[in-house]
Amino acid sequence: MRSISCALALIALAACGGDDEPGADAATVIDPTADLTRDIVSTGLKFALGPRTGVADIALGASTGNGASLEVGDLQISRVSVAGGADLPFAIADHQLDLGVGPEPVVVRVEYTWNLHENSDGVDSDGFTLTWPYFCGNVFPCHSNPADGTTFTMEVTTDTADTVVYPRTIPGDAPSYMAAWAVGNYTRTVLGTTTAGTTVVAWGAPTETAAIAQGTAHLTAAFDWLEQNLGPYRFGTEVGTVSARWGRNAYGGMEHHPLWHVASDAMADESVQVHEASHGWFGDGVRIECWEDFVLSEGAASYYEARVVEEVGAEGAGTAAWTLLDNEVAGMRSAGGVSIARPPGCGAIDVLTDGLFSRVPYVKGAAFLRAVERKISRPRFDASMRAFYQRYGGKAAGVDDLLAVIEETSGYDATACAASWLSAKPVPAELTCL
């Protein structure tokens, strides 16, 4: 993913509704009560791009007490109700919507308008959304904690002749940043179908035909390899890449599965395409427990970026991909060390402002996995990664969970190796584990 900069405007508002509903029993009214831990089971979203309006139907799970909270960024809330029913009491402060609901499961409807954001923190005027890591509240009511997962349904309408590309459903529990759309002069190209029956597509402008052909030449084979070697894909039966107009000097992609976005200037880059595809298993398929485990997403995707290109790419492409990784490792080593890839704790850092969003988790994370592979052999490594995905797919996990699975399946305790690669500033002298 590319670098994201932002500045959120602070708000301090309060609102309340629902007490005047005709026929409502005042004795049953529940005051708005904060609870960001209340589980979001499913999220149904409808957006109208012309008037910039949204309707979100949020299914909340059962709780032990009253209340629920949603992040709402700078959304302007016009109504909160039980979906299809009476108004609900609510209050807004510090970008958070607190709801007056009881402990029983309930579907809450939030009607609102949204603003454009030009700093990769919401809906951009160039026709794309980008909410990673915690800006979903600028687009829809949400929980941005990366461990939280919800299914999605989406409907996006526009009053222009442009095509809006988005997934109508995300059927597996997904982190909030996965829900996204892109608007433009798009043409859909079917690239192929995997052994498991997944259709792989590409969306781009007519002028991007050559770049798409180059970058996606092996994308169907890459996706097939991931499905066959790691396990079934969780987010639908049609997947693919979408060209995003991120602007000049923007490069890379964003893991908006099942239709991930890639900067227009990077559409011809096979490594970027495979990296974003790999997030369907790591980062999205297995969500990270907290931002301190960011390396479990980006390090794994960077490892498979090179590994899958080696497996299914053109002759010599795998060697070139590993060489690029080796060169980055060598550069960090010759610099005398860099920042750590896995900070201690859980929930104590800001992934953007505390410096974790850098090349370090990508490179050190991939190098660590390659070192483990060399230590225990590729077949045992593959079995460990497959077992990890099968155990935690659709759930959140951390680096410690991966280490436990590696030891369980291979007999090797990789804790010390992880500490040397991920939790220390110096870069090990050799690409290996003791």
Structural domain boundaries, residue 268: 187-280
**The predicted structure's pLDDT at residue 1:** 60
Whether 122 and 138 share a structural domain: yes
If you average pLDDT over residues 89-118, what whole number do you get? 98
> Is 241 among the domain residues?
yes
Collapsed DSSP state (helix, strand, coil) of residue 11: coil
**The predicted structure's pLDDT at residue 28:** 78
Q: Which amino acid is at 413?
A: D
> Is 2 among the domain residues?
no
Q: Distance between CA atoms of 272 and 252, rounded to whole angstroms?
A: 6
DSSP at 253: E
Which helix (DSSP H) or strand (DSSP E) does residue 45 occupy? Answer: strand 40-48
> Which residues fall within 8 angstroms of residue 236, CB to CB, at 6 or more apart?
167, 169, 170, 171, 258
> Is 172 among the domain residues?
no
Q: Distance between CA atoms of 399 and 130, rounded to whole angstroms?
A: 26
Report whether 105 contacts 64 (CB < 8 A). no
Collapsed DSSP state (helix, strand, coil) of residue 68: strand
**The predicted structure's pLDDT at residue 23:** 38
Residue 429 confidence class, pLDDT cut points 50, 70, 90 = very high
**The predicted structure's pLDDT at residue 336:** 86
Whichever domain contains 266, its CATH number is 1.10.390.10
Whether 212 and 122 share a structural domain: no
What is the strand order of the sheet 187-193 is part of? 187-193, 199-204, 238-244, 259-263, 253-254
Whether 292 and 418 share a structural domain: yes
**Residue 374: pLDDT above 60?**
yes
Give the residue, 114 or 431, on which the prediction is more confident.
114
Structurally, the chain folds into a number of domains equal to: 3
Whether 142 and 33 share a structural domain: yes
- Quick one: what percent of the chain has pLDDT higher than 70? 94
**The predicted structure's pLDDT at residue 205:** 96
Q: Distance between CA atoms of 200 and 91, rounded to whole angstroms?
A: 44
Whether 273 and 317 share a structural domain: no
> Is 138 among the domain residues?
yes
**Residue 129: pLDDT above 70?**
yes
**Residue 431: pLDDT above 60?**
yes
Radius of gyration of the chain (CA): 22
> Is 309 among the domain residues?
yes
Whether 358 and 255 share a structural domain: no
DSSP at 386: H
pLDDT in tens, 131-157: 999 999 999 999 999 999 999 999 999
- Quick one: what percent of the chain has pLDDT higher than 90? 91
**Residue 224: pLDDT above 50?**
yes
Whether 294 and 418 share a structural domain: yes
**Residue 20: pLDDT above 80?**
no
Domain boundary among 226, 245, 280: 280
Whether 86 and 56 share a structural domain: yes
The mean predicted confidence, pLDDT, of the chain is 93
> Is 3 among the domain residues?
no
**Residue 258: pLDDT above 70?**
yes
Domain boundary among 127, 149, 171: 149
pLDDT in tens, 343-358: 999 999 999 999 999 9
Q: What is the distance, to the nearest Å, from the Cα of residue 110 to the centroid of all Cα atoms in its chain?
A: 23
Going by C-alpha positions, the residue among 380, 371, 387 that lies closest to residue 410 is 380
Whichever domain contains 113, its CATH number is 2.60.40.1730
Question: Hey, what are 261's tokens?
Answer: 């976005």
